[in-house]
Amino acid sequence: MREMFDADPARFDKFTLQLDCLLLDYSKNIISEETLALLLNLARQSKLEDWIARMFNGEKINASEQRATLHTALRAPDNASIYADGKNVMPDVVRVRNQMRRFSEAVRNGALRGHTGKPFRDVVNIGIGGSALGPLMVSEALKPYASTQLSAHFVSNVDATDLAETLKRLDPETTLFIISSKTFTTQETLTNAHSARAWLVQHIGAEEAVAKHFVAVSTNLAETSKFGINPDNVFEFWDWVGGRYSLWSAIGLPIALSIGMDNFENMLAGAHVMDQHFREAPLEKNMPVMLGMLGIWYTNFCGADSNAVLPYDQYLQHFPAYLQQLEMESNGKRVDRQGQAVDYATQMVVWGEPGTNGQHSFYQLLHQGTRLIPADFLAPLVSHNPLGEHHAMLLANCFAQTEALMLGKTAEEARAELVAQGLSGAALESLLPYKVFPGNRPTNTLLFDRLDPHALGMLVALYEHKTFVQSVVWNINAFDQWGVEFGKQLAGQLLPELQGRLSGKSHDASTQGLINHSLVRRQRA
């Protein structure tokens, strides 16, 4: 990369894309113009343009579940017409958007109150995976826009500690629960929901309180009413919204409650800008396509197996975890659309932490480890907290890291530094190898003016579409998740055995040993 930068002063201009408030600099990648042209040929050969059109047009591209994939409709303008199964989905989308607006405004202005007449102060979202990570990530990211009157909490884990530690600090009279579950059959969510309900009824002393303190977001209206949730308090969404693509639907209700519906809709509008761009821009000027094809380059041509996401923004602390589900649940697949096992690598492991914290822990491996780890650096140009020189320092660190990863430090440069520090002879020679940085480590940099709802909407949609681009090239279905079902099924079978209610089927020696050990030790403990 050093040589390519030296040879071409226009490399930054050639290898950046700008859309609205978002800049993608992909010049610090191990690519030439020829590499890019070949990667875009691969995208064309994979019929990417057709697949993009098929997704936006509501075709059932999620073939193993026979469903359309229309999260893009959730951020389309009210007057759009978008069809799934021959039906325009927009009237329903708009109906639920309006319901979210009415509800969130009434809670926020105190018109809607709890059973004892007090206004709500805390909202607890009970959900897991796609029914939690999106709202959690966005609520944190857009904290500067949040109401000071209403705090959002997220309970996911079936580990009772999650619920118990959350409820410990809350007043039942002023707590609103949102049970978020696409299927309304997820064990963790329903277990937490029943325990939360028991807590509320026990503290308020009235079963009727449930109607005022519980709402649900689901596609399964039969199950929400079985749970006892008033149909007026159910926010619907549809099977053409994948769990990990659902934060734009009523699954975003905790976001709307926290930042208000206007801000929520600004986020939808930002995502819609990215949707239009993805749909219309030529491949060579298309941000999600570029990001996706660079990932293909490193995965399938350079042998990289992990991808770091490094937001230089504390508000984006949950962004890597959100992307882990988005990308790894979508493209962590080994069988193609024809049901054949693939003979090439698919999704990389996604991981990351906010900078600058990561710099003082794992960046050592990025700089001098033996692995190739492409990394995305994200940063706002303006901080919501303009305090002294903090933000300039943050940006300086961000840019310095991508520069250092690209340039590295040659033995000659390291030697000159050591000489300047007064070292010589054996002392210098023995230290020298440790001071060399190979460089040529690839990064993308994504800059946005400030982390506002519009920019965040663009950013999330960018990564959604990047994920789709890669699935197309890998010829896999990004929208099912059969791998997760297996674990759910096994846990269900094992539960009665752990409770000592059933001696059950025979397990492998390890699993049986763990069950037996637990039965004995749990009793004693």
Which residues are at the interface with ligand F6P (CB under 6 A)? 128-131, 181-183, 186, 189, 243-244, 329, 481, 484
CB of 500 to ligand F6P, least distance (A): 27
Q: CA of 192: how far to CAs of 10, 32, 200, in Å?
A: 56, 52, 12
Among 402, 408, 422, smallest CA distance to 15 is for: 402
In the bound complex, what is the minimum distance in angstroms from residue 329's beta carbon to ligand F6P? 6
> What tokens does 376 get?
């995305």
Token reading at 39: 């990667």
DSSP collapsed to 3 states, 501-512: CCCCCCCCHHHH
Shortest gap between Cβ of 189 and ligand F6P (angstroms)? 5
Here the tokens at position 121 are 């102060």
What is the token pair recorded at 483? 């791998």
Active-site choice (173, 188, 236, 329): 329
The continuous run of DSSP H or E covering 214 comes out as: strand 214-218
What is the closest distance, in whole angstroms, from the C-beta atom of residue 186 to ligand F6P in the complex? 3
A 10 A CB-CB count for 24 gives 21
* Secondary structure class of 300 (helix, strand, coil): helix
Q: Output 334 or 390, the one with its CB closest to ligand F6P.
A: 334
| Residue with Cβ nearer ligand F6P (104 or 181) | 181
Tell me the residue type at 445: T
Asked if 218 and 237 count as a contact pair (C-beta separation under 8 A), the reply is: yes
With beta carbons less than 8 A apart as the criterion, state whether 66 and 60 touch.
yes
Q: What is the Cα gyration radius of the chain?
A: 25
Q: Which of 226, 285, 488, 517 is catalytic?
A: 488
Eight-class DSSP state of 112? S
Considering the candidates 3, 360, 389, 412, report the single residue annotated as catalytic.
360
Quick check: is 367 catalytic? no
Q: How far is the CB of 488 from ligand F6P (least distance, A)?
A: 7
CA distances from 466 to 296, 326, 490 (A): 10, 10, 33
Look up 488 and say whether it is catalytic.
Answer: yes
Q: Are the CB atoms for 245 and 71 separated by under 8 Å?
A: yes
Q: Which structure tokens are listed for 521?
A: 């030790």
Between CA 340 and CA 15 the distance in angstroms is 36
Q: Compare residues 114 and 243 and give the one whose CB is closer to ligand F6P.
A: 243
Q: How many CB atoms lie within 10 A of CB 119?
A: 17
Closer residue to ligand F6P in complex, CB, 237/298: 237
In whole angstroms, the minimum distance from the beta carbon of 183 to ligand F6P comes to: 3
Q: Hey, what are 362's tokens?
A: 């794992």
Q: How far is the CB of 266 from ligand F6P (least distance, A)?
A: 25
Looking at the Cβ atoms of 66 and 510, the one nearer to ligand F6P is 66
Nearer to ligand F6P by Cβ, of 43 and 100: the residue is: 100
Q: Which is nearer to ligand F6P, 104 or 189 (CB)?
A: 189
Query: From CA 225, how far away is CA 218, in angstroms rounded?
Result: 11
List the catalytic residues.
329, 360, 488
